[in-house]
Amino acid sequence: MPVLETKRTVLRPFALADAEDVFAYCKDPRVGPVAGWKPHESLEESREIIRTVFSAPDVFAVTDKDTGRVVGSAGFTAPHREEVCQGSTAEIGYALSPDYWGRGLMAEVVAELLRYGFQDAKMDEIWATHYQENHRSKRVIEKNGFLYAFTESLSDAFYPDRPTCFYFLTREAWEKARRDDWTAT
């Protein structure tokens, strides 16, 4: 798995030694529930998540360049609605320590994940979802040029039917947006 870089972050594989940093933000009740998972209850639970969920391919630890500490996670999973996807696809997911919210950090990280997904991993289409009430995540998705597709319910650790907004971006649309940006500057 590669190491990726943005202006303010380095994206690298998780290590078990990151457990304390992970527990510090994953125990915060503002983080997991809006994304569908329960806050971590112990350092051991964070270690277990690193061993299982965070060890999947293309799941990155988001580290703060200034401190080297892990401040979030971001990466790709299988799409929730595989049947509507075209070609090689994946779904983007992310969470960030509340200490870092509101500075455009996750939008910056997602922009690099899109570059990695389309250019390096040769994906054809990338999907993103957020629970209807998660306006912060909605903005991260919108700011990265995703197109709204539909709203459907998903089940999670809290609800059997949670209204969820689905978005996608094709490689062609992403390339065109980059060309347009380049022409405009």
Q: Bridge partners of 175?
A: none
Interacting stretch for ligand COA, rule CB under 6 A, among 13-21, 58-66, 105-113, 149-157?
A: 105-113
Which one of 39-47, 54-62, 94-102, 113-121 is the stretch in contact with ligand COA (CB under 6 A)?
A: 94-102
Contact letters (x/-) for ligand COA, 139-168, by CB under 6 A?
A: xx----------------------------
Q: Is 10 in the site for ligand COA (CB under 6 A)?
A: no
Choose one: 9-17, 59-67, 92-100, 146-154; the region binding ligand COA (CB under 6 A).
Answer: 92-100
Measured between alpha carbons, how far is 32 from 113 in angstroms, rounded to an integer? Answer: 21
3-class secondary-structure state, position 128 = strand
Phi and psi torsions of 165, nearest 5°: -95, 130
* CA 85 – CA 150 distance, rounded (Å): 13
Looking at this protein, which amino acid is placed at residue 3? V
Strands 125-131 and 162-170: antiparallel
Q: Considering the rule CB under 6 A, would residue 107 count as an interface residue with ligand COA? A: yes
Closer by beta carbon to ligand COA, 13 or else 100: 100
Closest CA to 49 of 77, 18, 3: 18
Interface with ligand COA (CB under 6 A): 31, 34-35, 94-96, 101-107, 130, 134-137, 139-140
